[in-house]
Structure 1
């Protein structure tokens, strides 16, 4: 970390650190950056506010689009699994999207560690979404639980799993030691725990009616602060991007978690990291907030287009079924398919409340109509909806 670029920061200060470098085994003496607690909205340029306005408008259109869907929650899984795959890829863990979408439906006896990590994210996000849906607030405890779920069974599942880190971390070392780090977050201990608690309290200001701040600017500030204090030993990027959606849900910008933000940031990894670092170095929020707003605008537009494509596929299914005079369980299954590009007989029976045999017969009818195609699986009859899959991965 180029200490000289952080010395004059108006939004934080440097603190000396020392210890033994876990990468090299050598002792080190360096500095870490400690951000000040968040306060009011920063002064932003007119150009930045225009970017924020465009993003809010795009999020509004996405929200309106989700409200016209009969059962918008059915679209959560394809959006969430695409986000899970992309947010993990941004951190260097890659699993093919089709494998992620097919997990829990098709036998995958040799499931890769990368796929396990991605599915951990899906599970953690579902816990968070359900918590907010039941009116529970975002708390330090919730985020710590999400971290424990995120790293369960992975290399990061250490004694620090599910709690604020107890070790010094360095970001962007590329195998080197602390001296080669791109950024060094604040040291562990009481100050870090207090900074994390302050951030979560700040996140909840609008929930309690204590602020009239713009929700998108607030989400941008939260994301910067979370990544800068780096409260956990691993998984901070994934949790920080999940927190974007959670905060938008809390602030009622979205009523359903149908926004996928990581694909846009993944494609601009260097810009993403540089824009975050510039806030710490200069205290100028404009570049970061504008970049963040552009990302959310593009993500909302892209997500809306994918949802439109899925609804168009559903309408096509309805036309095929009308022509074939198919109804009942066959139609019920077809309606579920826009959220489930991969299915098996057991989960079709569970979804529709039908018997295993009735679900099997209905699936066979959908294969005959070209809506489903059977795929190889060792122990279950499994199927793919190719048009649904194409709309998700396009």
Structure 2
């Protein structure tokens, strides 16, 4: 009996994407030692976790996830807070695992799903169908076949001579097809693809490709369905390669931002961003107290207005600028700048 080989058609689009991604990784790796500070890596990991869990309907925001991991009290469902803690522990332990190890795969699932389901760290014992709304989109293999199918897939993963980018995408698809666990298969597939890629190029351990998947969730599920219908991973591999390319483009932009941001942002605005970073929206008086300021006109002229004009912060109630309950929060751009300032 020959070794298992997942069915795949190599397409010109895949080859083009591999070439583009490899070039992007080369540029990113060249600046990695200077740019990838612990703060920037942690910021990217938080984005990864928040996005991967959001795909599974976790409602916590970037700021809330940041606060949970800083040990702060967060108003949220206990299950969602547990999911964040579990995911962070799993991604932090990732460098200790071998992708083709069954024991490591089960350990990772135990970390991701511990306290959330009864059989964390164990293969499922029941049949499972995957639904989108009321429609059955995938009937996973019966539980009696799960262990054997996973062993075959891990053996292929350990011996394949395909390009690591292709291997990681194919594994992700085949893992979702088998659906080996009662719950947590999506986040496990994304974690394991990151693990495979990080062993090829360490800079990819902190690439938040999950953010791209979250923003293109319908296309992600559509690619899984298209691959099921074709009985090969090809459509899913093309989707994931495009997602990786986009995530690398965004990473390059954020690095450019890190280089430029200290020149563009005044000390006063930087302090304001620091006061709002990871915090709930704050009123003017609360911000002034946080910054140790007493003169409102100076605060508005030197801190608040420049940050608003630059699109770094926004009002919670923009239709009533002078509302007595008006608060201010970071925009997504402001969050990126705040992260860049932390790591500069």
Specify the TM-score bucket, using the shorter chain as the normaliser: 0.7 to 0.9
Structure with more contact order per residue of length (Cα contacts < 8 Å, sep ≥ 6) = 1
List aligned pairs for 1:43-54, cutoff 5 A. 43-54=9-20
* Residue among 287, 308, 312 paired with 2:256: 308
For residues 1-394 of structure 1, the aligned pairs below 5 Å read: 38-39=4-5, 42-69=8-35, 72-105=37-70, 107-108=72-73, 110-112=75-77, 113-129=79-95, 131-132=96-97, 138-154=100-116, 157-158=117-118, 160-172=119-131, 174=133, 180-189=135-144, 191-205=145-159, 211-250=160-199, 252-255=200-203, 257-313=205-261, 389-391=335-337
Aligned equivalents of 1:67, 1:304: Cα separation in 2: 14
SS of 2:122's equivalent? coil
Shift of 1:292: 1.4
| DSSP-derived class of the 1:232 partner | coil
- C-alpha separation between the residues in 1 aligned to 2:218 and 2:167? 23
* Alignment partners' CA distance in 1, 2:99 and 2:83: 26
* Partners of 2:66 and 2:213 in 1: CA distance: 21
Q: What is the deviation of 1:41?
A: 7.7
How far residue 186 of structure 1 moved from its aligned partner, in angstroms, is 0.7
User: Could you tell me how far 1:108 is from its partner in structure 2?
Assistant: 0.7
Distance 1:38 1:259 in 2: 30
After superposition, the C-alpha distances for 1:262-293 in whole angstroms (9 at most, x for unaligned) are: 11111222221221222232245443222111
CA-CA distance at 1:204 after TM superposition: 2.4
Structure 2 residue runs without a partner (length 5+): 280-289, 293-301, 304-328
Equivalents in 1 of 2:122, 2:57: separation in Å? 23
Q: Deviations over 1:6-32 (max 9, x none)?
A: xxxxxxxxxxxxxxxxxxxxxxxxxxx
Normalization by structure 1: what TM-score? 0.64
SS across alignment from 1:172? strand
For residue 58 of structure 1, report the CA deviation from its aligned partner. Answer: 2.2
User: Residue 137 of structure 1: CA displacement?
Assistant: 5.6
Once the two structures are TM-superposed, the CA of residue 52 in structure 1 deviates from its matched residue by 2.5
Shift of 1:94: 1.7
Q: Distance in 1 between matches of 2:121 and 2:239?
A: 30
Is the 2:90–2:112 contact (alpha carbons within 8 Å) kept by the matching residues of 1? Answer: yes
Contact 2:7-2:231 at 8 Å conserved across structures: no
The 1:230–1:385 alpha-carbon spacing in structure 2 relative to 1, beyond 3 Å, is: same
- Mapped partners of 1:60, 1:94: distance in 2: 35
CA RMSD of aligned residues (A): 3.6
Q: CA deviation at 1:314?
A: 6.0
- Mapped contact 1:170–1:182 kept (Cα < 8 A): yes
Change (3 A) 1:171 1:385: closer
1:231 Cα offset (Å): 0.9
Mapped to 1, the partners of 2:258 and 2:30 lie a distance apart of 16
Alignment check: 8 A CA contact 1:78 1:392 kept: no
Deviations 1:221-241 (A, max 9, x none): 111101100111111111111
* Cα distance in 1 for residues equivalent to 2:205 and 2:264: 25
- CA 1:253–1:390 in 2, change beyond 3 Å: closer, same or farther? closer
